[in-house]
Amino acid sequence: MMTVVDWIVDPLSYSFMQRALIVSLLVAAVCAVLSCYLVLKGWSLMGDAISHAVLPGIVLAYVLGLPLAIGAFAAGLSCALLTGYLKENSRVKEDTVMGIVFSGMFAFGLVLFVKVETDQHLNHILFGNVLGVTLGGLAETALIAGGTLLIVLLKRRDLLLYCFDPNQARAIGLPVRTLHYGLLILLALTIVSALKAVGIILLVAMLVAPGATALLLTDRFERMLPIAVAVAMSSAALGTILSFHIDGATGACIVLVQATAFLLVFLFAPKYGLFVTWRQVRGKSPSGASEAL
């Protein structure tokens, strides 16, 4: 008979599953922290854009013999900067510019990828390959994710004020430009560290869902961070183990578990959940009627 404990522990007897679990947890944690800021700032789609734009960087880094993470980081950051530059200097709307830049870079990356013989699998870059993470890859992810996490947590109050109210941040003398570019750099770093686990396309889910879920559960930012991290890490663990049992894509399983968590919170959250709001609406009309009487 298979108990719940066996269901969880069995997969972990394989060393590749242990590594996969550690990487997923790390990535989930750092993405969750960033997601709180992105959701508040309205930058969710910036995450999408940067993650698509890393593709040409990866291929070029391969050609030049550089570490792939450096190429990915440089490409991701240039996408953000180029978007800003084109938007400042033309009358095209920001979301349109962003769409043009990241799709152009992704397309260029595809062309390069077809032209250049690499030992990388396109599917692994696009959808992640957490089950094939090596010890070296694990160390790299841990280094980038850990560093990013540390910086964000140290600067969390400044970043928060910048996301909420840039004018106020400027008024009290915070270096707003530095914070702006700092947040972009942190986002690009996070994306680079998470590429292995979930791949380019699903990354944006990890960068949105935990923050969105936490926002429905609390009004206070100090609580939002730990909630987002807890939701993301437990979803990552559950998703990784689930993918082992159903033999499905790991990144997709993690994202779907996170989405399920969001759905549950959306329905049952104590204050902003759908059922509570409905009950309030229904509860109000009879009492209102009796008051009128």
The answer to whether 71 touches 120, Cβ cutoff 8 Å, is no
Residue at token pair 């894509």: 249
Q: What is the DSSP string of 222-247?
A: HHHHHHHHHHHHHHHHHHHHHHHHHT
DSSP SS3 for 90? coil
Of 19-27, 178-186, 187-195, 256-264: span binding other proteins (CB under 8 A): 256-264
Cα 40–chain centre separation: 14
Comparing CB distances to other proteins, the nearer of 103 and 178 is 103
Comparing CB distances to other proteins, the nearer of 247 and 291 is 247
DSSP 207: T
Judged by CB under 8 A, the residue of 6, 66, 81, 90 near other proteins is 90
Residue 275 C-beta: closest distance to other proteins, Å: 11
Comparing CB distances to other proteins, the nearer of 185 and 259 is 259
Residue at token pair 């990828």: 113
Comparing CB distances to other proteins, the nearer of 63 and 139 is 63
Residue at token pair 């969710």: 44
Told to check if 48 binds other proteins by CB under 8 A, we report yes
Residues in the chain: 293
Residue 42 C-beta: closest distance to other proteins, Å: 5
Residue 233 C-beta: closest distance to other proteins, Å: 18
What is the maximum span of the chain, computed from C-alpha positions, in angstroms?
80
The answer to whether 32 touches 84, Cβ cutoff 8 Å, is no
Told to check if 60 binds other proteins by CB under 8 A, we report no
Would you give the binding string for other proteins spanning residues 127-156, x where CB under 8 A is met?
x-----------------------------
Told to check if 280 binds other proteins by CB under 8 A, we report no
Judged by CB under 8 A, the residue of 123, 168, 178, 280 near other proteins is 123
Told to check if 11 binds other proteins by CB under 8 A, we report no
* Buried b / exposed e along 200-237 (16+ C-beta atoms within 10 A): bbbbbbbbbbbbbbbbbbbeebeebbebbbbbbbebbb
Would you give the binding string for other proteins spanning residues 191-230, x where CB under 8 A is met?
----------xx-xx-xxx-xx--xx--------------
Region of 2 on the Ramachandran plot (φ > 0 left; ψ -120 to 50 alpha; else beta): beta
Judged by CB under 8 A, the residue of 23, 77, 109, 186 near other proteins is 109
| Distances from the Cα of 249 to the Cα of 98, 128, 130, 197, 253, angstroms | 29, 9, 9, 11, 6
Q: Which residues bind other proteins (CB under 8 A)?
A: 38-39, 42-45, 47-48, 52, 86, 89-93, 95-101, 103-111, 113-115, 122-123, 126-127, 201-202, 204-205, 207-209, 211-212, 215-216, 246-249, 251-253, 255-256, 259, 262, 266, 272, 274, 277
